[in-house]
A and B are shown apart, each in its own frame.
Chain A
Amino acid sequence: MKNPGLRYLLAMLFLFIGSQPTTWAYQPYRAAGEVVLTEKAFRHIMERHWPDSTAAGAGKFQYGITEDSLRALINQAVQNGHSRINTNGRPGVIYEYDFHRQIGTNIDGQPATRLRVVVNKRNQVVTAFPF
């Protein structure tokens, strides 16, 4: 290879490739933007997980939660949380994030600091609850 310019370019390319991580963490549906909280999903969450919901055996958000603050919690969990493929053939991805502060109560009525969010393939929230 006699062309020094081309040799330099190839060397830079190899250096760039070599500097990249050898493995890539699988981050399914980890969009750069925010996930979508549809009206349907919001109603679903309110019916089961709102502070005044009577649904038994389901985590509840703290009093004072609003649609906007729920949206903020969800986006923070999706952007910073651990993700895994949904279980037992259910479509979508599960995100879990520990806020290290109380965001609600778990099924035993104890303080909950973590949030689980299920997001579908269209980047829409399916459900979200504290635990």
Chain B
Amino acid sequence: MKLDFRLAEPTTDTESWSNADEEDFRYRVALGDLILEIGSKNFSTHWGWVPLIDLAASLRHIAKKLQHSGRTETFEFTESESWLRFSRQGDQVIITASYSPGEGQVEYSRFVDAVKKLSKQLRDELLQRNSALSENPAFQRLLPEEE
């Protein structure tokens, strides 16, 4: 499973990040794309407007909800009807998307690890671009240093 992100370049709004609130982080700033490949299935986006902090926070929320088998959680993209669906079946997570055919399957523990890794990498990348983010309470809440 490859779970990653790509920041839309150039990021011209980095200065405004330090004063951003949760709504900004969820909808307006630090935009880019999701990279999600499972075997031969590719659920990556190529839109450039996916709010990446929201993506990471939402995936962590979903991973937590999928602790128990039988649960299904949906990630709705902020600016379209597109979605990603995650269904826990036994120790597997089945992933489907409205914008890409087929389904991917990954072990729950691997999914959790990938989400944690994505969050950490995104946090490090954004802090590198604007170190003042470390003082932003909404950023700290949505993308905490560790859990």
Contact = CB atoms under 8 A, between A and B. Distances in A.
Nearest to B51: A90
B74 A87 contact: yes
A92 B54 CA distance: 14
Contacts of A88: 57-58, 61-62, 73, 75-76
A95 interface: no
B120 interface: no
A131 B22 contact: no
Interface in A95-131: 106-107, 116, 118, 120, 126-127, 129, 131
Instruction: Report the interface size class on chain A.
Output: 20 to 34
A28 interface: no
Interface string A34-61: 0000000000100011000001111100
A89 interface: yes
A89 B58 contact: yes
Contacts, number: 69
Contacts of B54: 90
A88 to B, nearest CB: 4
Interface stretch (B23-31, B101-109, B126-134): B23-31
Contact of B99 (A48, A57, A87): A57
B61 A89 contact: yes
- Chain A at the B interface: SS class: loop
A116 B81 contact: yes
Contacts of B79: 48-49, 55, 57-59, 127, 129
Contacts of A87: 58, 74-76
A116 B76 CA distance: 12
Given A87-B74, A89-B61, A126 B80 contact: no
Interface string B29-65: 0000000000000000111110000100110011000
Interface of A: 44, 48-49, 55-59, 87-92, 106-107, 116, 118, 120, 126-127, 129, 131
Interface of B: 22-23, 26-28, 45-49, 54, 57-58, 61-62, 73-82, 99
Given A48-B79, A88-B73, A120-B23, 13 more contacts: A56-B46, A56-B48, A57-B46, A57-B47, A57-B80, A59-B81, A87-B76, A88-B57, A88-B58, A90-B26, A90-B58, A92-B23, A127-B27
